[in-house]
Structure 1
Amino acid sequence: MKKIQLAAIPLLSATLFACGVSNDNKSSENDFTHAYQSITDATLKAHTKTLSSDEFEGRSPTSKGEQVTLDYLIRNFKEMGYQPGNGNSYLQAVNLLEMTASADMAMTIGDNRFEYKKGMIASTKREQSQVSVTDSDVVFVGFGVNAPEYDWNDYAGLDVKGKTVVILVNDPGFENPDSGKFQGKTMTYYGRWTYKYEEASRQGAAAAIIVHETAPASYGWSVVANSWSGPQYSLVSDNGNADRVAIEGWLSNDAAKKVFADAGLDFAQEKAKALQGPYHKSLKQKASVTVNSTMKKSVSQNVIATLPGSETPDEHVIYSAHWDHLGKDESKDGDQIYNGAHDNATGTATALTIAKAFKELNVAPKRSVTFLIVTAEEQGLLGSLYYAEHPIIPLDKTIANLNMDAMNVLGRTKDVSVVGMGKSELETYLAKAASRQNRTLTQESRPEAGSYYRSDHFSFAKQGVPALYAKGGDTPIDEQTAAYKKRAKVVITGCYHQVCDQFRENWDFSGVREDSQLLFEVGYDIAQSTDWPKWSASSEFQRH
């Protein structure tokens, strides 16, 4: 487990670790302490229990459960005295597009015909009922990365307009961690499938096909086949997503090996070349596929509430969490409701509890504190993506984002797990807050999985706003907690995205409480400061 090296992240203020950025005297310290201690297990537990009750019907976007959820959130923010964050409204409308590709499709590459969900998956984000690629030249583009900061461009000198690009999953550091390339086994955004499609779109490709491999993807082919089939969601755009690559898909590893073999190439050897430096090579074959889709547009809502700052109210610290889950499946026998207690009633409960703590202060922080509770995270971070692309608070006035997702109900820990460790100076604030609890910062247990790019803070990071995602840890506080964690983790893990993700009275909320207090302190210190936390030099993100 990697512990944080504070020397690697510049201290933002000489007073930060002394007594807290804002605690200039004993009365302000007492004021902060009262607010800090107002965050309790009981409050967090009560909100989680309510939000994950059957009345909320699994909190699916655009459902009856959404309206019940919105009413609950707005009522709480009003009762706390928070102002509407969007003019006179607590809501921001998010226009969603649902597209379902017909399973009656196949992809041909050269003499090979690959069947849907067996050797290939294909879909489109374009708002068209039918999208085709016919006799498109196939080009292997290595990892499909264009990263000037790493002096790496797999597309250099290559025109892929109208062509089908075949791309390796993850980034060059994963399987060559000692090479000094990228960040070793820690995935950068260049390793995420979302980036691969975005870059292929920028390059003008007609189709972008990622080669699946279990280890670098961090999930098996069944996850690809199940997750990329059925309804797929995106945001409605002015141009109908015409700037997206027409076809987005995957090839199984066996299918890819056949394609390379037909080109007289060995897949493993070509991959080895791609690991050494920017690489591309024609596969001397043509690809064809047609995707027929049904489309449905709908509207969901983000919730936004603000506590205006006492001195610089135009500058904001934004806390985020997603209120949505998977809703209700009436085709199921027995329990039909995906209550989403852990994911993410706990995060939404944390947001409400931290919001209440800020109102316990005698004087509001100098900067404004805003709570953004977003929709459609489960459909691909769409609520936060929409907000980041249509910000209500200007991004150049957004100091930082602190995200809360699937909080730690496994008991108190000696450490704090930082997802995407080393990315920004926000970790200096986090280390100071952790020290109050005698905790240390550690790197997430599987940085190669790219978890930093899988929750709502990432939408802010892409826009250059420093974003922090930290929670829990791996080392239980004592043996009793360790025994509880061993039992409870089986349920938490096994019930992920299942109807059994339900509130349990025996959950230990002490870990959620400590993490909530931790994030409250981080936000408080930033809101009381005049500093603008920066990204680290090694991060792929920088302020725009």
Structure 2
Amino acid sequence: MRKLFLLLVVPSALVVAQSKSFDPYARIGFESITPNDLSAHLHFIASPELEGRETTFRGQKVAARYIASVFQKLGLKPIGDDQSYFQRFDLEVTRISEHSNIAVTTRKGPKSFTIRRDFLTQSTRDTIYQAPVVFVGYMDATLDSAAQALIKGKIVVAFGGRKGDSKDTSISAARRVSFSRSFPGSVATMVVADDSGSGSIDRLYARFSRAMEKTSMRLPGAQTRGGFSFPPVYYISPPLAGELLKEFGKSLDDVRRKAQGGRDIKPTTLKQASVRIESKLSREVRQSENVIGLLEGSDPAVKDEVVLFTAHYDHEGIGADGIIFHGADDDGSGTVAVLELAEAFATNPVRPRRSVAFMTVTGEEKGLLGSEYYVKHPIIPLDKTVADLNIDMIGRTDKKYDELKVQDYVYVIGSDKISIELDSLLKTSNNESEALSLDYLYNDENNPDGFYYRSDHYNFARNGIPVIFFFTGVHVDYHRPTDTVDKIQFSKMAKITRLIFYTGWKVANKTHRLVTNTPAAAR
């Protein structure tokens, strides 16, 4: 282990030696950041045992305790609740209620159908739909202008799968989106599930139960974010569909055969059945936690000022069929970089003049909730927070750089928005150390990908705090179960982490505090 460590740090030391301007007092901390150490941490953080680290779930709690144990081992000061490393807070969790139901009324009277047994939905709307029903055949139906006018304000019903393919009864994510977008103006859409196979209610529930459980989270009192672009989708059982579609055939199979015929079924309003959908939500409060530790600065005159290093340690949890979303790059890479940065500063013989703090936040995947809570309830006063250096996904190479066959780069976002001096300091630090390619492609707030607004630095920037967001781009495994530790490029990750260390070192040791170039909270 010791021999391998020496082999790994020698290239870094040689790079440093090439720059006479490199601060020798930072050398030991700088060289302590190694691919091996990053790998050791990430193999735990992204392991199956942590179950994808979904906010408020067991794996996230285990990750929080692990991070806190590292901070404690390094001797960081616990500045969280009750002199701990945790800043705990409540989250309101909403999901579809078991009291949701669909009532179908025919000439024989109303008949009630229950969620999970007779239908499923991932809708997070607490509402009642009562409207005429239009049957359109299959979910890939093409509607002319007259049919589009017919479905407005109505509930649309269709079989899953594709017309003409009796073996295809699947309801894939892509088709669900396509289906919901195909019927603009309808109030809700119903997909008829299959009797058996992948499209059955039982199979669909096995796939969607976790998603139904975790629908949405928000801070107590916060407004629900965004609106609803498309009508909600309900997956209905054959018995429920049979009640609805009796007027089209002797049995549901008979209706399906007719829908499979050569011509498209003409969209038709049901005359013998009406539908009332009552979609109810259940609400509960769960707790999550940010994890934070402090290393006090050496200069009594400025040690109340703090340079903050952040990353989010939550991810997507467990998905369909129990598949784990490991989140090795997103954002296991940033999380373990923060741990290495904490070790680098803690073990460096010389402490910086200003204090440095290390925080891994929760709830980023739910809407930047952990950092939002923190800036509303700051442990370190915001006016004493000199800068936030945020790390989110630095372990892989995106398509652009894959094609260029280049690994030694990093996307820099937000570095000049509030303090041009911070951006200048980053460039100087890079020139004196790793000499990476600094790519500002996503630095434009108007970039269509909007990355400036999509990670935790943004909540600090909104409060006028200078920020840098370090990022290496998205890849084919982004937000997929295949974002695993075996694909991480640890050598490149170590170089970026060392650059972040040295940039933070320079900010923390400046004779004056960073000069800001925009009014507080201007962005």
What residue number does 1:90 align with?
85
What residue number does 1:379 align with?
366
What residue number does 1:468 align with?
468
The code of the aligned residue for 1:52 comes to A
The code of the aligned residue for 2:303 comes to P
What residue number does 1:249 align with?
227
Identity of aligned residues (%): 32
* Unpaired segments ≥5 residues, structure 1: 1-17, 24-28, 106-120, 133-226, 254-288, 474-491
Cα contact 1:412–1:510 (8 A) shared by 2: no
Distance 1:444 1:431 in 2: 16
Distance 2:410 2:381 in 1: 31
Distance 1:249 1:414 in 2: 40
What residue number does 1:449 align with?
449
Cα contact 1:342–1:406 (8 A) shared by 2: yes
- Listed as ranges, the matches of 1:176-215 within 5 Å are none
Cα contact 1:376–1:383 (8 A) shared by 2: yes
Distance 2:317 2:385 in 1: 32
1:73 aligns with 2:67: yes
What residue number does 1:340 align with?
327
The code of the aligned residue for 1:77 comes to F
- Listed as ranges, the matches of 1:39-438 within 5 Å are 39-86=33-80, 88-100=83-95, 231-237=215-221, 241=222, 244=223, 248-251=226-229, 292-311=280-299, 312-329=302-319, 332=321, 336-410=323-397, 413=407, 415-420=409-414, 422-423=416-417, 424-425=419-420, 426-436=422-432, 437-438=434-435
Deviation, structure 1 residue 412: 6.0
User: Relative to structure 1, is the Cα distance of residues 449 and 367 closer, same or farther in structure 2, using a 3 angstrom cutoff?
Assistant: same
The code of the aligned residue for 2:430 comes to A
Distance 1:37 1:496 in 2: 30
Distance 1:131 1:422 in 2: 49
Distance 1:71 1:232 in 2: 24
- The secondary structure found in structure 2 opposite 1:516 is helix
- The secondary structure found in structure 1 opposite 2:489 is coil
1:78-119 alpha-carbon deviations (Å, 9 max, x no partner): 1111110225110001211112368999xxxxxxxxxxxxxx
What residue number does 1:167 align with?
none
Deviation, structure 1 residue 33: 1.6
Deviation, structure 1 residue 230: 7.1
Cα contact 2:95–2:212 (8 A) shared by 1: no
Given the two structures, how large is their TM-score scaled by the length of structure 1? 0.57
Distance 2:342 2:230 in 1: 46
Deviation, structure 1 residue 542: 3.9
Would you say how many aligned residue pairs link Structure 1 and Structure 2?
A: 342
User: Relative to structure 1, is the Cα distance of residues 340 and 472 closer, same or farther in structure 2, using a 3 angstrom cutoff?
Assistant: closer
1:398-442 alpha-carbon deviations (Å, 9 max, x no partner): 000000111133386454321246413221111112212233433
- The secondary structure found in structure 1 opposite 2:365 is coil
Distance 1:376 1:408 in 2: 21
What residue number does 1:168 align with?
none
Deviation, structure 1 residue 123: 6.0
User: Relative to structure 1, is the Cα distance of residues 44 and 413 closer, same or farther in structure 2, using a 3 angstrom cutoff?
Assistant: same
Distance 2:351 2:101 in 1: 58
Distance 1:19 1:316 in 2: 28
- The secondary structure found in structure 2 opposite 1:303 is strand
What residue number does 2:489 align with?
508
What residue number does 2:478 align with?
496
- The secondary structure found in structure 2 opposite 1:58 is helix
Distance 2:216 2:362 in 1: 15
What residue number does 1:258 align with?
none
The code of the aligned residue for 2:428 comes to K
Q: Which moved more, 1:396-405 or 1:74-83?
A: 74-83
Distance 2:127 2:68 in 1: 41
- The secondary structure found in structure 2 opposite 1:320 is strand
User: Relative to structure 1, is the Cα distance of residues 387 and 291 closer, same or farther in structure 2, using a 3 angstrom cutoff?
Assistant: farther
Cα contact 1:421–1:443 (8 A) shared by 2: no
Cα contact 2:464–2:520 (8 A) shared by 1: no
- The secondary structure found in structure 2 opposite 1:493 is coil
Distance 2:372 2:511 in 1: 27
Distance 1:417 1:352 in 2: 21
Cα contact 2:294–2:358 (8 A) shared by 1: yes
Deviation, structure 1 residue 228: 12
Cα contact 1:412–1:511 (8 A) shared by 2: no
- The secondary structure found in structure 2 opposite 1:296 is strand
Given the two structures, how large is their TM-score scaled by the length of structure 2? 0.59
Cα contact 1:36–1:520 (8 A) shared by 2: yes
User: Relative to structure 1, is the Cα distance of residues 514 and 527 closer, same or farther in structure 2, using a 3 angstrom cutoff?
Assistant: same
Deviation, structure 1 residue 498: 1.8
Distance 2:441 2:415 in 1: 7
